[in-house]
Structure 1
């Protein structure tokens, strides 16, 4: 019987992982920074607390999502403390479990680490060129994980952009969706020329659970759609779905330093490993986000 330990439960993705795990009949324990009715509190920077939680749970797999993830977070030093230091504590605690008891351990990195690569389809062998503290901290986390190769089973995931209901409105797609739901006349955004590989959070959650139940030694895997979608495409789709038009203005104050202009993943290895891809198109995801809450 798989027993999964999920960190970062109170974040955007965690609730969907728990929902799907329950539907699949999987045994899952959840941890979050502040604790919730469905999770236990954890401070990843407190090694002894981390070790205690791991010993209590005795998981066969972990899905480690807990991280500082918004690229504009301040102070930037938090990226390194949590994303690298917190992961190091978790690795140490896992290493004290019998290695034969572990099926897989999923560590969420990010496609942000590819930076502004000149390669059109970014596969797992693409050179890593992070352009911000978030990406650099995730690259550092991956290098840390290589030190544990052969000691415990590890899968590093590099999810590209994904969205869905419940994502914080400081992120781009929820901000656009809110503007259309509220029938705003104008919307101020940053760089209107960016294009991204977008997935649906429901697919990402499903992929994490699939990987957690798959025996692994060490692998790196993109989680992506393989499609490049422009900001103009997103706005146009929202306009068609709501029959509403708004004026979109590029405001200098929303421009990000070291903006990554295009980011598209190669899904070949993902398909080999998972055996499936997302069933949701970007239009499906936007329709879901624009609809009234159930």
Structure 2
């Protein structure tokens, strides 16, 4: 971390007001108060104002990064960043055209604009996803496993990661893919299983209704993810990917039981059993040995601690 302490780096964060973006910017500001943090995203002016008041962001630019003209205008007026964290994108049940436009199209546009304005010294960290991996029988994934995605979201993220590395080679940029697994924490979307589960508990529901309870996932706290992203930015190799995960899997059913137990709500857990969603593999657990061996990173926040923070207990 000596480089970021030695001078006042400029850090550009796309999707700065999103779930991971908020935690990343907060950690950057806390640890490196002299850094200049510039946020980009499609965000209401009130959110930009709130960021300014808390002094987390030095600047916020509301911009549609899918629009070449707007992106060029914005990047032309900001200083060349030392680090770029590209977190902007989309997930969930949205139209496939929008999904590809906001993940792949936005990434291609951003890299093209960075090349045109001459951001060649920037080290770029692209937020990928565990959903990028092709199906694997064991359900345990390391960075050598092929990517391509099993769902529409996974395919769009895999394409975005591949495009980022390809365009970096074409334009002479330095890029690394940070591939987090199931990110959890206070403020997470209720489109995600733990967000949905927690909202049901906090709303005082009489029962918890979820989909498949036997699916196994690797849940990692957003604060650990933010720490990993910074470690990768400072010390990670370029032209490669790093899994950001705990390496431990848990079934959705066991996760729900933990949430019920911690909340002391004692509500029944029901499964809306139906056909297995297309592309939704039964098990997805990450291997984080590359991140540990190369950078010494390990997750520090337990699943129980994460749940307690989300439930505010």
Note closer, same or farther for the CA distance 1:52–1:204 as it changes in structure 2 (3 Å cut).
same
Deviates more, 1:9-18 or 1:270-279: 270-279
Shift of 1:101: 2.7
Match of 1:95 in 2: 115
Structure 1 residues 140-171: Cα deviation after superposition (integer angstroms, max 9, x where no partner): 11221232344111001111001110012222
DSSP-derived class of the 1:234 partner: helix
Equivalent residue for 1:114? 133
Does 2:165 match 1:143?
no
Q: Secondary structure at the match of 1:257?
A: coil
CA contact (8 A) 2:81 2:119 kept: no
Q: Conserved in 1, the CA contact under 8 Å of 2:228 and 2:297?
A: no
Matched, 1:15 2:37: no
Change (3 A) 1:272 1:100: farther
Unaligned runs of 5+ residues in structure 1 are none
Cα distance in 1 between the residues matched to 2:183 and 2:163? 25
Structure 1 residues 169-180: aligned runs within 5 Å: 169-180=190-201
Asked if the contact 1:159/1:223 (under 8 Å) is kept, the reply is: yes
Q: CA deviation at 1:188?
A: 1.3
Shift of residue 129 of structure 1? 4.4
Q: Distance in 2 between matches of 1:43 and 1:107?
A: 18
Shift in Å, 1:100: 5.6
Determine helix, strand or coil for the equivalent of 1:79: helix
Asked whether the equivalents of residues 155 and 220 of structure 1 are also in contact (C-alpha less than 8 Å), the reply is yes
Whole-angstrom CA distance in 2 between matches of 1:290 and 1:225: 21
1:259 CA displacement: 1.9
Aligned-pair CA distance for 1:84: 1.2
**C-alpha separation in 1, matches of 2:120 and 2:191:** 42
Report if aligned partners of 1:33, 1:42 keep a CA contact under 8 Å in 2: yes
How many Å apart are 1:184 and its aligned residue? Answer: 2.4
- Out of 61-70 and 112-121, give the one that drifted further: 112-121
Please list the CA deviations of residues 21-64 of structure 1 after superposition, one character each: whole Å capped at 9, or x if unmatched. 11012321001113422331111111122122223222111111
Give the match for residue 55 of structure 1.
76
Matching residue of 2:57: none
For residues 103-140 of structure 1, the C-alpha deviation after alignment (integer angstroms, 9 at most, x for no partner) is x1011111101143213421011122422111111111
Match of 1:163 among 166, 184, 203: 184
Contact 1:107 1:156 in 2 (8 A): yes
